[in-house]
Amino acid sequence: MIVVLKQGVAGGEVDAFTVELERRGVKIHLSRGASQTVLGLVGDTTGIDQEGLLAHHLVEKVLRVQEPYKRANRMFRPEDTRIDVEGPDGVLRSIGAGCAAIIAGPCSVENRDQIVAVARAVKEAGAGFLRGGAFKPRTSPYSFQGLGCEGLDLLLEARKETGLPVVTELMAIHQLEVFDGVDVIQIGARNMQNFTLLRELGRCRKPILLKRGLASTITELLMAAEYIMAGGNDRIILCERGIRTFDSYTRNTLDISAVPALKRQTHLPVIVDPSHATGLAWMVPSMAKAAMAAGADGLIIEVHNNPEKALCDGEQSVTPEDFSSLMGSLRRYAEFEGKTLS
């Protein structure tokens, strides 16, 4: 950490400040220029609050040299993390470290027929995981809010029928009680900085699919993962799903460069959600392929057997037919990038 002092600070003050900082367990390298004095803090600065230092009357600027995350940091764990999930069919599916997973299914579980039909279709097409929402975060209190526990039961039925492990969203801590049969817990973009929830997930032993917040930086996403890891759960799958920008052609702007950026900063697997990022079904195939080309460890894609009648997000759902054809391209891309697809 680099601390730039204000102009004209007296030597005695600098000395006193140096002593104060060294008490927090770091060493100080002093560099005094003609117009500015700079302190280099050497050692573990994870516990030193950058913004706190800014409150000191001698300080002009604080610049971070090291990232504030440890457990999620590739610097301290260079090998890729691989998340293994065993489905009810006894098959082991992996995400990360050369293995890419395709997670597919409807935005929300609507009824038994719908979820089982879509589950069968996506399995047939080659998806490795079934997704489906039971608890839905909706912008309007007047929109369909998901079937809740009933939806969860239907999803688990589809799980049994197809053998596919399931991914579904958890919105609040108390829902954890009913998530026993779920294979991967999804945390939505709007809950990425729900710190109480993240802390609780650290105590849980299931893999977490953590979506990037709409206005979250790469560092903030990794700090959210760090919250969970600090509690002892390091089975985390990061998910880029579009960020909010001035552009309104797509619902959000898919930040495709987040894939290589994250993979450089962390050992955790990184997947992409082209459906929520764009909000446009016709754009899903091109963005899915772009994500694989950029090095993603998988995709989560909305598939609905009748998008026009979907109770939620139909405009971004592809049909089973389109999904099946897309899978053909994805297999080619994965192969070319040296990834095993599951």
The three-class DSSP label of residue 71 is coil
Is 255 near its own copies (CB under 8 A)?
yes
Binding mask 43-62 for its own copies (x = CB under 8 A): x--xx-x-xxxxxxx---x-
Tokens of 255: 């930040």
For the chain, the straight-line distance linking the first and the last C-alpha, in angstroms and rounded, comes to: 42
Least separation in angstroms between residue 340's CB and its own copies is 18
> Which one of residues 40, 88, 163, 181 is an interface residue with its own copies (CB under 8 A)?
40
Output 286 or 325, the one with its CB closest to its own copies. 286
Is 140 near its own copies (CB under 8 A)?
yes
Distance between CA atoms of residues 114 and 272, nearest Å: 24
Distance between CA atoms of residues 53 and 59, nearest Å: 7
What is the full DSSP assignment across 96-114? Answer: BTTEEEEEEE-SB---HHH
Tokens of 214: 């709409």
Output 124 or 195, the one with its CB closest to its own copies. 195
Distance between CA atoms of residues 102 and 125, nearest Å: 10
According to DSSP, the residues that pair with 166 across neighbouring strands are 130
Distance between CA atoms of residues 297 and 290, nearest Å: 12
Residues 152-191 that bind its own copies (CB under 8 A): 171-174, 190-191
Window of 86-94, 96-104, 161-169, 253-261 that interacts with its own copies by CB under 8 A:
253-261
Output 206 or 244, the one with its CB closest to its own copies. 244
Distance between CA atoms of residues 153 and 159, nearest Å: 10
Window of 112-120, 147-155, 160-168, 238-246 that interacts with its own copies by CB under 8 A:
238-246
The three-class DSSP label of residue 117 is helix
How many C-beta atoms surround the C-beta of residue 8 within 10 A?
8
Least separation in angstroms between residue 186's CB and its own copies is 15
Least separation in angstroms between residue 92's CB and its own copies is 28
Window of 116-124, 151-159, 176-184, 243-251 that interacts with its own copies by CB under 8 A:
243-251
Least separation in angstroms between residue 194's CB and its own copies is 6
Binding mask 70-99 for its own copies (x = CB under 8 A): -----x------------------------
Length of the chain: 342
Output 81 or 316, the one with its CB closest to its own copies. 316
Tokens of 246: 């001035």
Window of 79-87, 96-104, 149-157, 196-204 that interacts with its own copies by CB under 8 A:
196-204
Tokens of 35: 């117009």
